Every structure is written in structure tokens, then in C-alpha cells.
Amino acid sequence: MSVKGVPLPPERVEEILEDWKAHPMKKPRIAKVTVNISIGYSGERLVKAAQILEEITGQKPVFRKAKRTIRAFGVRKGENIAVMVTLRREKALKFLDKALEAVNRRIKTSSIDVHGNVSFGIEEHILIPGVRYDPEVGILGMDVAITVERPGYRIVRRKRARKGHIPARHRVKPEETMVLLSQLLGVEWVER
């Protein structure tokens, strides 16, 4: 099985895929997708952004508050300045499929962090298939963050029993994220 669009030697890609077949608990998965639209101030435009985000994702967004006052920008502490949605499972994959169409299924390799998580931006929300332009709202950009983890990461977040530690060998590497997203969603990785 070959994976296209990954800037790794084909031998390394095959090695990763064989390792996943031999050890199913090593195959990473998309844990969640976080979508954020930041306006920078509260008001009618922020409410419209929330409506657009709900329309695109199919889930009710949460308003995010400013952490501190910045007088130069007219932002007060506690004021709503952004909206966000966290998607999981099928909703996450469905949204990612649409969001990746907006960026032509191309993501920069520099968008991956050391733990294998990926973030990319969509400059105009109207680039997402199925979204119409609304002159009252204008054009909004959004940030999309994909959290990738292996099975077993729950021990870090559990509350009832003692929290555990994930060793470095079980953390997701950036090259594994490249292979996973290319295999699942047909992402092409661009080096810049």
C-alpha cells in the first residue's frame, strides 16, 4: 500500500505502515478537531460568526472570553472575542473533508508540532464547499487544529484513578501524522 504526497522516503512510509499492521495500538487516530474564529471584539459580528460556525460544523459553538484587558485594541477582560467548536469522531472527519477542500488538500510540513498535532488556517470561510456569501457578515477566516493521539492516551486525562504518564516512545511523531492524514484524507504535504 503506498501513500502519496508525503515528503518521506518510500521505505520509511512502508516501515510505518508495517509497524501499524504488526502493532494496532501504535496506529494513531484523530482525537479531535478544534475550529476557532476570532473577531477580537464582541458584538453583532461575533454572533454572526457563531451562526456561520454552527452552519459549517453542525454543532453549537462556545464563546471565548478575553483573558486580559488591552486598551490599545479596546478589549476588556472577560469580554467575548471569539467562538470555537470541538468536533470528534465522524463529525470531525466530515468537517475535515470539507475544510481540506478549502486549502486544496495541501498543508505545510511546518504546520505539524513535535507531538504530531496539525494546525492550518482558512483565509475565507466561503472557500468551504456549501457555504454561501452573506453581505451582512462579510468574510471570516478560521483556524483548524487537529489533535492526533494513539489509543491509550486516556490515562493522562483520567480523573477517578491515578493519572498516568505517556512515555516518549508512545507519543505520535510528525512523520506518523503525515502518513495518517495522507492515508485517511488524501492530504498532500508541502515543504516550505
Residue 105 counted as domain residue = yes
Helix (H) or strand (E) holding 32: strand 29-38
| 3-class DSSP state of 113 | coil
Identify whether 1 is part of a domain. Answer: no
Residue 20 has pLDDT above 70, yes or no: yes
Taken in order 72, 77, 81, 86, is the CA torsion positive or negative? positive
Is residue 192, in this structure, part of any structural domain at all? no
Q: What pLDDT, on the 0 to 100 scale, is given for residue 75?
A: 64
CATH number assigned to the domain comprising residue 170 = 3.30.1440.10
- Say yes or no to pLDDT of 1 above 50: no
- The residue range of the domain holding 121 is 10-157+164-183
Q: What is the pLDDT of residue 3?
A: 65
pLDDT-derived band at 146 (thresholds 50, 70, 90) equals very high
Asked whether the whole model's pTM tops 0.85, one would answer no
Domain total for the chain? 1
Question: Is 3 among the domain residues?
Answer: no
189 in any annotated domain: no
pLDDT for position 121: 87
Residue 137 has pLDDT above 80, yes or no: no
User: Which residue(s) pair with 82 in the sheet?
Assistant: 38, 64
Bridge partner residues of 87 (DSSP): 33
